[in-house]
Amino acid sequence: MTKAFSVLVLFLAAIAANAQQLIVIESNNLKCNDSVLVFTPKMEGHCGNCDNQTSEAIPTLFLLHGWSGCYNDWNRLDSLQSLSDSTGFRIICPDGFYNSWYVNNTDKDKMQWKTFFDEELYPLMAQKYNLDPNKTFITGLSMGGHGAINIFMDNPDRFAAAGSMSGVLNIHHTTLIEKEVTKVLGPYTEENMSSYDNVSAINRLESLSGSDKILIISCGYNDYYAKCTTEFSDRCKELKVPHITLLTPGTHSWKYWRFAVREHIHLFSMILSGENLGY
């Protein structure tokens, strides 16, 4: 694990085997600190306010927020401790910042979020919580859906499966491309189009061709980004990438995402227990 960062752990709540933690990582890759909220379920034999290096690994979900959000979005607009307790999943919410898109900025002097995840965040969480890749999942909403699928494709061996909720799975479709994404990937011009193509999840699917790990792709069918979901699903079919597409009533809203995250965790739980997923 890289030594190019320091960690400050703040215990926000700790009650016996139940704890919510704030972990602050001082990162050279980000050029700033990253705040990470961790919710550990109330389970006998697992202590949320200690390092579980010798205990049995429990299911863990990396849960990413959307554009203009922060690490506390999910907890502020949902009850993540209750969700962790009811599902048995540890939930890890890192800060993807206002506009990182969970990728490396093309300017090396600016935020390198993907490298931060690869070299700092994931190794630290794996060490502290004894992560088992066969019990580890990742999903996120909107910008975070884009991030979750991309991070999964970077190294599928770290996860059992991945998901996207209302994800911007084709970055060319976002209405933020000229105003915001250019701050991360540079000018949106023909000369620089490879910077956008190379980080767009739909363009990277060939790397999963023949994989036996499944993607959970969901969106409200009244959401602008539903077209990303259907386009991504069609490409998965062409490449024979296992996936479940869930199009249900809903918009680009927290009402939908509070529903969708529970659907994702339910399907992730089925994967853990080896239940029939239809294929």
pLDDT tens digits, residue range 225-238?
Answer: 999 999 999 999 99
**pLDDT at residue 12 tops 50:** no
The token pair at 78 is 């949902």
Q: Is the pLDDT of residue 17 over 60?
A: no
Single-letter amino acid, residue 172: H
Residue 278 falls within a domain, yes or no?
Answer: no
- Position 201 pLDDT exceeds 80: yes
Residue 127 belongs to a domain: yes
User: For the chain, what's the residue count?
Assistant: 279
Specify whether the CB–CB gap between 193 and 247 falls below 8 A.
no
What would the DSSP string read from start to end of 16-73? TTEEEEEEEEEETTTTEEEEEEEEE---TT--TTS--SSSPP--EEEEE--TT--TTH
Number of domains in the chain: 1
What rounded mean pLDDT belongs to the chain? 91
279 within some domain: no
pTM of the model: 0.92
Handedness of CA 32, 64, 72, 11 (dihedral sign): negative
The predicted pLDDT at position 55 comes to: 64
Q: Name which of 189, 187, 190, 185 is nearest 168 in CA terms.
A: 185
Q: Which residues contact 266 (CB under 8 A, 6 or more apart)?
A: none
- Residue 45's CATH number: 3.40.50.1820
What is the extent of the structural domain holding 204? 5-273
Q: What is the pLDDT of residue 13?
A: 37
At 52, is the pLDDT very low, low, confident or very high (cuts 50, 70, 90)?
very low
| Main-chain dihedrals φ then ψ at residue 221, nearest 5 degrees | -75, -5
Contact by Cβ (8 Å): 148, 162: yes
Q: Decide if 109 is inside a domain.
A: yes
Q: C-alpha 177: how far from its chain's center?
A: 21
Q: Check residue 56 and give its pLDDT.
A: 78
Cα separation, 233 vs 222, in Å, equals 17
Give the sign of the dihedral formed by CA 17, CA 81, CA 71, CA 138: positive
- The residues near 82 (Cβ < 8 Å, ≥ 6 apart) are none
- What lies within 8 Å, CB to CB, of 1 at 6+ separation is 123, 124, 127
Instruction: Decide if pLDDT at 7 tops 70.
Output: no
Query: For residue 277, is it left (φ>0), alpha (ψ between -120 and 50) or beta?
Result: alpha
Q: Flag whether 263 is in a domain.
A: yes
Residue 41 placed within a domain: yes
Q: Is 220 left (phi over 0), alpha (psi -120 to 50) or beta?
A: beta
Q: Is 16 inside a domain boundary?
A: yes
**Percentage, residues of the chain above pLDDT 70:** 89
